[in-house]
Chain A
Amino acid sequence: MKPVLLEEFVATGKIRFVTRHYAFLGPESTRAAEASECAAEQGAFERFADLLYANQRGRNDGGFSDVMLTHIAEFIDLDAVDFATCLASERHLMTVQQDVDDAIDLDVRGTPSVFVNGAYVTPADVSAIVAAIEEALGGTSP
């Protein structure tokens, strides 16, 4: 979904794409979200997020343990000490929780949940999202 939207709409200046956390599947969801914020401190949110998606396994089975998250950070050449310090500090926990709280307020019940100009789009597939975007743009094609 995201690559299509980035290529067809973000690159042409038609949409702004915002990613937020809805870490609801357990402790490793929260740790992965916190870790992505630590990666963002080093300007690597997108690369780190892509690797998290590529390394999805079962729920809370160690795939996103602190050790694994640090390995992923090292794989994309982040400063391992800064990353580990950030992760250990839990300084982004409140930020992640704020996103989750906002999602709950918006009645988000699953992932991914997509909003186009604040309107919930379902199902969250490419064709429905593109249709919602085009409608918001006034019916223009990408």
Chain B
Amino acid sequence: MYAKRSLLLFAFLAFALVVVGCGQGALLDADSDAVGTAERHAVGEEDAAVTVTVFDDFQ
């Protein structure tokens, strides 16, 4: 009985860790996407006084 309850507790904790871990991963991905979106294909000096951004379609 004691072993069964311990096993259930262990399983619950493992599940909770997985959920928390996935949540943190999603947040990190969202942050890196937000940064990368603006500067993904940039040429020129990072500290240039002016940034020219072009939205274009290849077709």
- The interface of chain A, by Cβ under 8 A from chain B, is 2, 5-6, 9-10, 13-26, 28-29, 32-33, 36, 40, 45-46, 49, 52-53, 56, 59-60, 63-64, 94-95, 98-99, 102-103, 106, 108, 111-118, 129, 133, 136-137
Contacts and interface: CB of A to CB of B under 8 A. Distances in A.
Contacts, number: 139
Contacts of A111: 55-57
A64 B58 contact: yes
Interface residues of B, number: 24
Contacts of B59: 23, 25-26, 28-29, 32, 56, 59-60, 63-64
Contacts of A40: 40-41
Interface in B19-39: 33, 36-39
Interface of B: 33, 36-46, 48-59
A70 to B, nearest CB: 15
Interface of B is mostly: mixed
B36 to A, nearest CB: 8
A14 B50 contact: yes
Contacts of A114: 52-55
Contacts of B55: 20-22, 99, 103, 106, 108, 111-115
Contact of B48 (A13, A32, A112): A13
